[in-house]
Structure 1
Amino acid sequence: MGPGRVRAVFFDLDNTLIDTAGASRRGMLEVIKLLQSKYHYKDEAEVICDKVQVKLSQECSHPASTCITDLRTTHWEEAILETKGGPPNRTLAAECYLLWKSTRLQHMVLEEDVRAMLAELRQDFQLLLLTNGDRQTQREKIEACGCEPCFDAVVVGGEQVEEKPAPSIFHHCCDLLGVQPADCVMVGDTLDTDIQGGLNAGLGATVWVNAGAAGPPAGSPTPHYIVASVLELPELLRRMDRERGES
């Protein structure tokens, strides 16, 4: 890292600060219960949810004019049709989507130890939330977990011209806080967006949150630091400052 102390820390949201994957699994379990008890889908219920999960994972950036509710209801409609056949059932698809979504949001929780860590860091650094995704979806998550007051600024990729890993969105974040890229640290769980984006933008450091604490796969972006939990960040930032002071 270059000379000078860290002035700002950018945080990813999903699976960095909140357990989005776990919340989504809870939503899928509720849909399975619904399909099995109300509609008597036995093995088909899990197959449908597995298909939807694949469709969700394959979503790419879409125009702002696209309604995320329509898009994701269509995921469910297609999965039901592919599994059960028959005419499309938009009503059932909408019921499944809304149950999954509402259950997921109920479990979008910013744990108290994470909230306390952010409060501690904010005494010494500016904090910014930088999350990719559809504007409506991400804003709903932010509201559900009540994290916005923990940050000096919030930037949602779906509201910008480009998302992570494009340098432009990182430079926009720097402008918001009045800092230089070299004075900033990006913290996130995704190598291709969080880490690559931080590297692309010339940030002072990138921190990969990886519960396995193993190194990145061959050919992947290489983070400056790896932590098993975001809660390790205060000590890591103190170490960064010591390293900078010695350089």
Structure 2
Amino acid sequence: MLKAIFLDMDETLCATSLADKHAANELKLYVSDLYPQLNADMFLERYIAGVYKKLNDELPELLPLLTDELFFRQNLILVLFKEQGIELPFDAAVAVQACFDQSRMASFDFFPKMKETLVALRKSYQLVVITNGPVFSQHPKLAATEMQQYVDHIIVGGEEPEEKPALSIFEKALNLVNCKPEEVIHMGDSLAADIAGAKNAGIKSVWVDTQKDSDHQQLAMIEPDYIVSNPVDIQTIVAKLA
């Protein structure tokens, strides 16, 4: 019998990529205006890659700063400006990062009809958000959406010993709702973190297909129990299980 639903946040409940796109556009306008000598497109491409830790091998000098995500991103900005021959004062890097953060949160929101879906599901099931990511980025998102009004529990990976797909974070969620793995279903967009993690914990999984080629290449190795293209379709799956 289904008793609880575990849910990822980014690209599952909320349109993170749209907020990122809006913030990147605003940041491009900001740096282009203040620093006309900067190749803004190149800076943005590398900044976003750095934020998502895709430049870690290339910029090992920044790795010791990862314990403080905000400080890491501010120093990333300094390094990327320096790549283009611009020595940026630290307070200017602080302002650049603030522009991105403020623009991102101004447009961060649930997918259409997701709030209504959570309200409906919560009438019958306990809901737990399990989101990977640092406190610096995840807590503002949770505040912007007032997530605590729509779910029973929230687990932020950056506050835990391990993030998804680690068994420990799913076990914590199971303990919070006092459920066995077979009494829960987990929905998320990451095959590696959400689906593999849920399967390892003995929990049925729902994969949100965001149409990434790289994800579809993993499907042969990581197979979800259910696939949806619109996360609000979790209601249909839950109805079948009920």
TM-score, normalising length: structure 2: 0.89
| Pairwise CA distance, 1:64 | 11
Contact 1:48 1:80 in 2 (8 A): yes
Partner in structure 1 of residue 109 of structure 2: 109
What residue ranges of structure 2 are gaps of 5+ in the alignment? 57-62
2:56 is the counterpart of 1:57: no
Contact 2:65 2:71 in 1 (8 A): no
Contact 1:76 1:93 in 2 (8 A): yes
| Pairwise CA distance, 1:90 | 2.3
| Pairwise CA distance, 1:63 | 8.9
What residue ranges of structure 1 are gaps of 5+ in the alignment? 242-247
Q: Indicate how the Cα distance of structure 1 residues 189 and 111 shifts in structure 2: closer, same or farther if over 3 A, else same.
A: closer
Partner in structure 1 of residue 208 of structure 2: 209
Question: Helix, strand or coil: the match of 1:130?
Answer: strand
The aligned runs of 1:131-142 (5 Å cut-off) are 131-142=131-142
Q: Could you tell me how far apart the structure 2 residues matched to 1:226 and 1:155 are?
A: 23
Task: Report the more deviating stretch, 163-172 or 133-142.
Answer: 133-142
Task: Write out per-residue CA displacement over residues 150-177 of structure 1, whole angstroms, 9 at most, x where no aligned residue.
Answer: 1111111111111100011101100011
| Pairwise CA distance, 1:195 | 0.6
Aligned length: 233
Contact 1:211 1:227 in 2 (8 A): no
Question: Helix, strand or coil: the match of 2:67?
Answer: coil
Contact 2:50 2:76 in 1 (8 A): yes
Q: Could you tell me how far apart the structure 2 residues matched to 1:95 and 1:144 are?
A: 21
Partner in structure 1 of residue 157 of structure 2: 157
TM-score, normalising length: structure 1: 0.87
The aligned runs of 1:74-153 (5 Å cut-off) are 74-82=75-83, 84-111=84-111, 113-153=113-153
Question: Helix, strand or coil: the match of 1:164?
Answer: coil
Partner in structure 2 of residue 237 of structure 1: 238
Q: Indicate how the Cα distance of structure 1 residues 198 and 74 shifts in structure 2: closer, same or farther if over 3 A, else same.
A: same
Partner in structure 1 of residue 197 of structure 2: 197
Q: Could you tell me how far apart the structure 1 residues matched to 2:19 and 2:65 are?
A: 25
Task: Write out per-residue CA displacement over residues 168-195 of structure 1, whole angstroms, 9 at most, x where no aligned residue.
Answer: 1101100011101111111000111011
Task: Write out per-residue CA displacement over residues 93-152 of structure 1, whole angstroms, 9 at most, x where no aligned residue.
Answer: 222111001100111112461100001111111100100111232111100111111111
Q: Could you tell me how far apart the structure 1 residues matched to 2:202 and 2:169 are?
A: 12
